[in-house]
Amino acid sequence: MLGSLADLKNSNEEHDVVIVGGGAAGLTLAHALGAAGKSILLLEAGGDKRTKASQEFYRGELTDEVVHPPTHNYRVRAIGGTSTIWGGRAIPFDPIDFEKRPWVPGSGWPFGEDRLSSHYTQAMEASEAGRPEFFPEDALPGAQKELAPGLDGELVRTTIERFSKPTNFWRRYGEELTRSDRVKIVKDAPALHIQLAANGNSVDWIEVAAPDGSRIKVRGRSYVLALGGLETTRLLLASNDVRPAGIGNDSDHLGRNYMSHLCATAGTISFAGSPDGVAYDYARDDEGIYVRRRLWLTEKAQRDFSLLNTTFRTHLPEPADPSHGDAILSAMFLVKDMVLYEYSRKFVENPVSWGGRLRHVGNIVSQPFRLASFGTNWLRQRTFAERKLPSVVLGSRDNRYELEFHAEQAPNPDSRLTLSTQRDSLGVPRLKIDWRVTELDLVSLEKSYGLLSRELALRGAGRLDFDRDRLVFKAKRHGIVGGHHIGTTRMSTDPKDGVVDADCRVHGVGNLFVASASVFPTSGQANPTLTLLALTFRLAEHLGRIGEVQPLQVQAA
Ligand SMILES: Cc1cc2nc3c(=O)[nH]c(=O)nc-3n(C[C@H](O)[C@H](O)[C@H](O)COP(=O)(O)OP(=O)(O)OC[C@H]3O[C@@H](n4cnc5c(N)ncnc54)[C@H](O)[C@@H]3O)c2cc1C
């Protein structure tokens, strides 16, 4: 059901679980726990849609404004959270990601991939991304296995990435949650403070701001923070009256090891053989799910060469350079440059001149039919489609593609979120963000390019041309993926090594849990949401076992 802050003000009701945050994690958890018979209160800071005013609460201080995107972009403070704008790429972590790898300081999860595999199946179902099949022979039986003929070996393999619709989790679960009498959702209810008991070992209540300026205390038996990686860390840091360094920060890990992924295009891959042999495009599996082939440096490659986990995708020619002469690319450049901050910031050092822009217009005007046909398909397959074509991909007549990397970042305690001296209009300190790339990240990326280049040549499958300095520049300067916020409440078995335990419970605080990618100790090559959802289902199982389970009651619609 939907509730209001006025109801909460006048009620002494104590819920089994209070969830803070109604994004992919919070809504999925509420749905799973509601189904397990728990009484749930979900507090969501935003309303039905993001507004300029709501995004303003996300503004933070950056140590480098070119390197890190503004914190009020790339996440959404409204019901559904960032799932209202995400790209839907659904990829699990690889078994090696959970291991302690001697060449990656701070690596090693408290459990192995086997402890998450059944939850990955649930996560795939929740995100409407199909079956958990990530190799071409499983996902596309009978179809071409390799991205390009002769490419796969024991060090480089073609794997599959799958795509969600992309699912907006409020659209997915909102109606059911609204009808459930076990789950109460309160929008426009920003949590300001977590009040610990005087001994610091449990949460007494969460303080919520009401629109009239008053403060409301909300109580539950257990509390789950699902505010996204940055806000979860901020709330823990800012709730520092009982624990002066913030909650869960006895070992000084809270806010540290801030990771994203490194992703940019660098270098050109030229495949041997016919352009028709390259499976660069999206395919649909037998359930109609979009899937796409990409290249992965295998676990053997990572072990043999001490690499971080890294994947590669064929990519479009750089749209910003009008010499490609392609109307579609020129139109993409002009639209994206105007609309998308993350896109336009790549040209801060080398802005495209007015002459260049005119050449883009020339490309567009010279190929009206190509552009019109593309536009019609785009409207059909993307704008009006329920399951959306994930992105534009174009084949290459000369069999050359730009190469995009998507690479793991290693944990680094100096890459860090702290509290700023500035406060938002509700009085909560804003975040100060000092995101860093390590030497290990850059060396690994360079070695990964070298290895791929060598393997292509050895196998006669093609050639990779890249400039080392350009690669490093792109990774350092424009590499961060704006929406991936990982590591700042890291999971550890021993309280001295992290913020939460293997059950995502904050060390030393019996009834406080975190459902966020911020608990990942390492970042892997995969985009974070599928693993976040798998962990959320694991947490639901854990919380579902606490206390007595009652049957779900659903009110008539
Ligand atoms: C453009 C873009 C594309 C992306 N594409 C992909 C992709 O292809 N694949 C992938 O795996 N990931 C992708 N991501 C990342 C993905 O969106 C996130 O991993 C995921 O949405 C995080 O979910 P969450 O529930 O942890 O956080 P959020 O979705 O951020 O939800 C947090 C919720 O908490 C609420 N909240 C915040 N503060 C408070 C407060 N004080 N009190 C109460 N509520 C509060 C917010 O309003 C929000 O509803 C993308 C991100 C972006 C920005």
Q: Rounded to two decimals, what is the model's pTM? A: 0.94
110-124, 207-221, 263-277, 338-352: least confident range: 338-352
429 lines ligand 1 (CB under 6 A): no
Atom 39, ligand 1: residue with shortest CA distance: 45
317 lines ligand 1 (CB under 6 A): no
Structure tokens at 293: 């082939």
Q: Would the CB of 206 count as within 6 Å of ligand 1?
A: no
Distance 58 CA to ligand 1 centre (A): 12
Nearest CA to ligand 1 atom 48: 81
310 pLDDT tier (thresholds 50, 70, 90): very high
Give the pLDDT of residue 553.
45
> Exposure of 451 by Cβ count < 10 A (0-12 exposed, 13-18 middle, 19+ buried)?
buried
- Residue 177 CB less than 6 A away from ligand 1: no
Predicted confidence at residue 341, as pLDDT, reads 64
pLDDT at residue 82 tops 70: yes
Q: Which residue, by CA, sits nearest to atom 15 of ligand 1?
A: 483
- Cα-Cα-Cα-Cα torsion 316, 318, 322, 325, nearest 10 degrees, comes to -20
Q: Which two tokens stand for residue 419?
A: 């509290």
Band of pLDDT at residue 554, cut at 50, 70 and 90:
very low
Q: Which atom of ligand 1 lies closest to the CA of 235?
A: 41
* Whether residue 312 has pLDDT greater than 50: yes
Query: How much is the average pLDDT of 146-163?
Result: 97
Q: Kindly report, residue by residue over 227-279, the tens digit of the pLDDT.
A: 999 999 999 999 999 999 999 999 999 999 999 999 999 999 999 999 999 99
390 lines ligand 1 (CB under 6 A): no
Taking the centre of ligand 1 as the mean of its atom positions, its distance from the CA of residue 361, in whole angstroms, is: 36
Count the Cβ atoms, other than its own, within 10 Å of residue 181: 12
Q: Which residue has the tokens 């996560």?
A: 123
Rounded to whole angstroms, the Cα distance separating 552 from 336 reads 46
Six-digit token pair at 69?
């995107």
Mean pLDDT over each residue of the chain, to the nearest integer: 93
**Which among 73, 54, 78 has a CA at the least distance from the CA of 62?**
73
- Ligand 1 neighbour 26 (Cβ under 6 A): yes
Between 92-96, 216-220, 334-338, 544-548, the lowest mean confidence (pLDDT) is in 544-548
State in Å: Cα 51 to ligand 1 middle.
16
The predicted pLDDT at position 365 comes to 87
Q: Work out which ligand 1 atom sits closest to the CA atom of 54.
A: 47
- According to the model, what pLDDT value does residue 431 have? 98
- Among protein residues, the one whose CA lies closest to atom 51 of ligand 1: 483
Nearest atom, ligand 1, residue 78 CA: 47
Q: Residue 371's pLDDT is what? A: 86
Q: Is the pLDDT assigned to residue 164 strictly greater than 50? A: yes
The residue that leads in pLDDT, 256 or 375, is 256
Q: How far is the CA of 74 from the centre of ligand 1 (A)?
A: 8
75 ligand 1 Cβ < 6 A: yes
Lowest mean pLDDT among 30-44, 50-64, 339-353, 466-480: 339-353
Atom of ligand 1 nearest to the CA of 77: 47
Mean pLDDT to the nearest integer, 125-147: 97
**Amino acid at residue number 194:** I
Options 3.40.50.800, 3.90.1200.10, 3.50.50.60, 3.90.79.10; which CATH number does 2-59+74-129+165-249+484-544 get?
Answer: 3.50.50.60
169-179 helix and 24-35 helix, angle to the nearest 10 degrees: 30
Ligand 1 neighbour 92 (Cβ under 6 A): no
**Residue 351 confidence (pLDDT):** 76
- Per the CB < 8 A criterion, the answer to whether 484 and 517 are in contact is yes
What's the gap in Å between 228 CA and the centre of ligand 1?
A: 5
- The reply to whether ligand 1 has any atom less than 6 angstroms from the CB of 23 is yes
Residue 338 has pLDDT above 80, yes or no: no
Q: What is the mean pLDDT of residues 428-455?
A: 98
Instruction: Tokens 């257990």: give the residue.
Output: 222
Is residue 88 lining ligand 1, measured as CB closer than 6 Å? yes
Contact at 8 Å (CB) between 435 and 409? no
Backbone angles phi, psi at 85, to 5 degrees: -135, 5
Q: Is residue 298 in contact with ligand 1, taking CB distance under 6 Å?
A: no
Centre of ligand 1 to C-alpha 23, Å, is 6
Taking a C-beta distance cutoff of 8 angstroms, is the pair 149, 277 a contact? yes
Mean pLDDT over residues 98-127, rounded? 97
